[in-house]
Amino acid sequence: MYQPLIKEIKMPSGVMKKAAVILLTSLAIITVNGQQKDSILLAKEKLIYFAPIEKFNERYTRIKSLIVPVGLIAYGFVALENDGLNKIDRNTKLEIIEDHTEPITKLDNFLQYSPAIVVYGLNVLGIKGKNNFRDRTMIYALSTVISSAIVLPLKNITKVQRPDGAAFNSFPSGHAATAFAAAEFMRQEYKAVSPWYGIAGYSAATVTGILRLYNNKHWVSDIVAGAGVGILSSKLASWIYPAIKRKFFKAKSINTMVMPFYQNGGAGIFMVYNFRQ
């Protein structure tokens, strides 16, 4: 039966500012590295030409697409010290445990990966997405690395107690970050085929977040911030990868990829094999 009913946050003075600076600095470095080759001004024979209007439109679209994930992350940070948002966290927990005093399922541990798994399943069935096997695998792996690089330090810095009192690593939700990164990965892969693939992926991610609440493992603000981190990670990965591809990969195809992963204190190896040549 769940014991703690009060949300406890153990943070040193000014931790929000430090965490925000770390996050923003990381994102700035990632963005600059991913876009440094796309110069706005081109010099030729001592004349300066403005880049095609398409470049400006592309960058404007990218910036606009960051509004939602950055907004979700900002909500989570504000909720760390805002009484009104803290009240939402506590009241939601109380409403849930009135009817569910024990964890209801472990499905969230597997559902978080489902959108990414479906992407590979669809390709095996012959429903092609945006990228080939190598490219989509590298993008997904890169999104996982970016997500972990954001989530793990924030957990150690903020030290928010979980609703069930089990540990002080609640913020942000790693499950939500993984699930929404996979959902955005699926949306990007199949948005040209049908918007319903993206809707399905985000539905699975949303259910994952809800189950984390019902299992008393996270506060609402943890889930919201984790979702923002996941979406942002996939977007950044898709923008950065083309530069990595140009520098490190040739046209040769790859059928098997093995990647290490680390999440919630557990490590392992993730292997993907392309059955269709």
Q: What is the pLDDT of residues 9-36, one digit of tens each?
A: 555 556 565 565 556 555 555 554 544 4
Q: What is the pLDDT of residue 66?
A: 94
Q: What is the pLDDT of residue 59?
A: 82
d(CA 91, CA 86): 9
Instruction: For the chain, state the CA radius of gyration.
Output: 20
Backbone φ and ψ of 104, nearest 5°:
-95, -20
Q: What is the pLDDT of residue 158?
A: 96
Q: How far is CA 222 from CA 135, 143, 183, 269, in A?
A: 31, 19, 18, 26
Q: What is the pLDDT of residue 61?
A: 85
d(CA 43, CA 48): 5
Torsional sign, CA 192, 206, 72, 32: negative
Residues of the chain whose pLDDT is less than 50?
32, 34-50, 260, 262, 266-267, 269, 277
Q: What is the pLDDT of residue 275?
A: 52
Of 1.10.8, 1.20.144, 1.25.40, 1.10.10, which CATH number belongs to 66-273? 1.20.144
Q: How far is CA 95 from CA 149, 152, 167, in A?
A: 33, 29, 22
Q: What is the pLDDT of residue 32?
A: 46
Domain locations in the chain?
Answer: 66-273
Length in residues, the chain: 277
